[in-house]
Chains A and B, each alone.
Chain A
Amino acid sequence: MAEGATARDGGGAAPLLEVVGLRIELERRAEAPVPIARDVSLRVEEGEIVGLIGESGSGKTMTAKSLLGLLPERIRVVAGRAMFRSRDLFALTPPQMREVRGAEIALIPQDALHALNPVQVVGRQVGEPVEVHARRPGPEIRELVVRLLERVHIPNPRARSADYPHQFSGGMQQRALTAMALSMEPPLILADEPTTALDVTIQAEIIALIRDLRAQTGTSFLFISHDLGLVSSLCDRIYVMYAGEIVESGVREEIFDRPRHPYTRALMGAAPRLLGNPERLSTIPGRIPQPSEEIAGCRFRVRCPLAEARCAEPPPLREAARGHDARCWLA
């Protein structure tokens, strides 16, 4: 913790999290490994909400999981580093990584309805990070849990903390998971599609909650979603991921008002300006390529309405405007 504190004091210049050249591969028996994320670089500043957007299968969730060392079996980080408070997350030993999880970087998981242990009361689970990392006495933890549940607007928090997950509605489960992520007041929270399983009004509630929390605590968020509308309303900066690559990045206004990459434009064209239908991305013609498919040059080429001869060469991610990068020859 002392180490982290000095890093923070070290200056506003160093970002809280900086991922450089991340490559994730799925290992296969007797076959070449499949790249899931290629050369992904991104950063999260102190107090910033950063969006990572892409269709399912784009590698965004695996990118987030890699930061906590939670990749599934046979999926591995093979290159790159993730500097967090002057430490490389990918170089940590398993015990060191356990110290980081929940305490310094927390996760709000996908699919709220299956993310809580069905046979343990909610309060115990919300307080578990504190129980594990801070080892404070039981009554103190229980008080903290009540305050946390209150903060995420769970009515009657003292009584509800003794309930089992199945007695909570979906929105309440998601709010409990948010409270759980907050419990150690970590500087960074990874929110992995925290609203997909929920209906629209509750979605908006969770988004408002995240915005409030950032304002109150200065916590940074890496917000992962396939929902452009959601991301653009919440995030300061946005990374767009396609088929394992970052194809565009920049501040919200830049991306939203002046998208450079045809994929981002297609996403926006496909996205009605209303919150709602989560299937909206499927209206882009064609489908996202399988990670194992070899595509020479730009990986969006096959679906791109503007593709031309030079797209057979892989385009670099280059600055298209100030603070706005795009991986496209036409940008």
Chain B
Amino acid sequence: MLRLVLGRLASFVPTLFVASMVLFLAVNVVPGSAARSALGIHATPQALKRFEHQHGLDRPLAVQYVEWAGRALRGDFGTSFQNAVAVGPDVRKRIPVTLQLAGMAFLVAVAIAIPLGLVAGFRHQSGTDGVVTTLATLFGSTPNFWLATLLIYLFSLRLGWLPTGGYTPFSEDPVANLRGMLLPCIALGVVSSGLLIRIMRTAVIEVMFSNFIETARSKGVSNFRLLTAHVVRNALIPFFTVSAVEFGFLVGSVVIIEDVFRIPGIGSLVLVGIINRDYPVLLAAAMSVTVIVLIVNLLVDLAAQVIDPRQVHTGS
């Protein structure tokens, strides 16, 4: 088990490095644009030069990357071009907000996907299966920002049940926090459930064709027991491994949903960084999103292995 965790960690570190390089490249695709956007279009060439020199932007990209990565490893993400404030503390304050949003949204998605995928896979190629599969495509085809807009219109403006946006820390007022999170989580979760339903359905179908299902049937177990004792746990192993990818998409969508609901998380910081062309902010925010995705992938992967006794016992 321990060896397994260490193995995953060993492949996690290089991935993180390459990912950070890709990100650094993406942010710096157009050289020189940082200074221009920070100082505005009327800045003199001298001012641009001075700004670039001051922020080390006139050096080769590789050097800039190494320096940035070195400082980032120590938790120092530099200072904002905009107001010269250190970026790190702001990022750290926003991470829990985004984690809560993404985590709860993923729970919503999983809570929809597991039962529906189970029914569809169990009644493979039946009418129920057709309805659920169509529903999955329907969910997955819904633009989340549009769904969010409709939800606000219906539940906040027409019915007045929930706030239109904003954020209250959980520690301050748990009820207000959850009321505020509900609509964003539904908007994200329902859309993500589209793919998750399909993943669960495929996993269940795979299990249903296994020999041990016939063994169980030959013992006279009921359909309910067949599902609970034999199908679910086996299907959850591939479900969690594959659904980790969808969690990545979900975290990405946070950029839009946080904007719609005015939630001060990492996603809205990405947008702030972009609108202000504030590269230290943008890099720090984007890197945190990436790290969150990678860590969650790692955790989900490990969780899937823990449910699977074949993985736990080998090597112990």
Contact = CB atoms under 8 A, between A and B. Distances in A.
**Is A–B contact present in the complex under a CB 8 A cutoff?**
yes
Interface of A: 68, 70, 98-103, 106-107, 109-111, 114-120, 125, 128-129, 132-133, 164, 166-167, 177, 180
Contact of B219 (A102, A110, A166): A102
20 contacts: A98-B222, A101-B220, A107-B215, A107-B218, A114-B210, A114-B211, A114-B212, A115-B215, A117-B212, A117-B230, A120-B229, A120-B233, A125-B215, A128-B219, A128-B229, A129-B220, A132-B222, A164-B310, A164-B313, A177-B215
Given A117-B230, A120-B229, A120-B230, A166 B220 contact: no
Interface of B: 210-212, 214-222, 225, 229-230, 233-234, 237, 307-310, 313-314
A166 B310 contact: yes
Given A117-B230, A120-B230, A164-B313, A111 B217 contact: no
Contact of A118 (B212, B214, B216): B212
Contacts of B313: 164, 166-167
Contact of B234 (A70, A111, A119, A167): A119
Contact of B211 (A99, A109, A125): A109
A98 B212 CA distance: 17
Given A118-B309, A118-B310, A98 B220 contact: yes
Nearest to A111: B211
A132 to B, nearest CB: 5
Given A129-B220, A132-B222, A166-B313, 4 more contacts: A109-B218, A117-B215, A166-B309, A177-B215
Nearest to A183: B219
A180 B219 contact: yes
A142 B314 CA distance: 26
Contact of A119 (B219, B220, B233): B233
Contacts of A117: 212, 215-216, 229-230, 234
Contacts of A180: 215, 219
B214 A109 contact: yes
Contacts of A164: 309-310, 313
Contacts, number: 82
Contacts of A107: 215, 218
B209 to A, nearest CB: 9
A128 B222 CA distance: 12
A129 B221 CA distance: 8
Contacts of B216: 117, 128
B253 to A, nearest CB: 33
B222 to A, nearest CB: 7
A103 B220 contact: yes
Contacts of A110: 211
A210 to B, nearest CB: 17
Contacts of B237: 119
A181 to B, nearest CB: 8
B102 to A, nearest CB: 28
Contacts of A132: 219-222, 225
A70 B310 contact: no
A119 B233 CA distance: 7
A67 to B, nearest CB: 10
Contacts of A120: 229-230, 233
B211 A115 contact: yes
A100 B220 contact: yes
Contacts of A133: 220
Contacts of B233: 119-120
A327 to B, nearest CB: 30
Contacts of A116: 212, 215
Contacts of B222: 98, 132
A313 B118 CA distance: 52
A115 B234 CA distance: 14
A109 B210 CA distance: 12
Contacts of A128: 216, 219, 221, 229
Contacts of B308: 118-119
B240 to A, nearest CB: 13
A102 B220 CA distance: 6
B207 to A, nearest CB: 10
A109 B219 CA distance: 11
Nearest to B124: A73
Contacts of A109: 211, 214-215, 218
B64 to A, nearest CB: 50
Nearest to B218: A107
Contacts of B217: 68, 70, 101
A70 B222 CA distance: 13
Contacts of A114: 210-212
Nearest to B225: A132
B219 A101 contact: yes
A120 B213 CA distance: 12
A101 B216 CA distance: 10
B230 A106 contact: no
Contacts of A99: 220
A19 to B, nearest CB: 18
Contacts of B211: 109-111, 114-115
Given A132-B225, A166-B313, A167-B313, A119 B307 contact: yes
Given A114-B211, A115-B211, A120-B229, A106 B310 contact: no
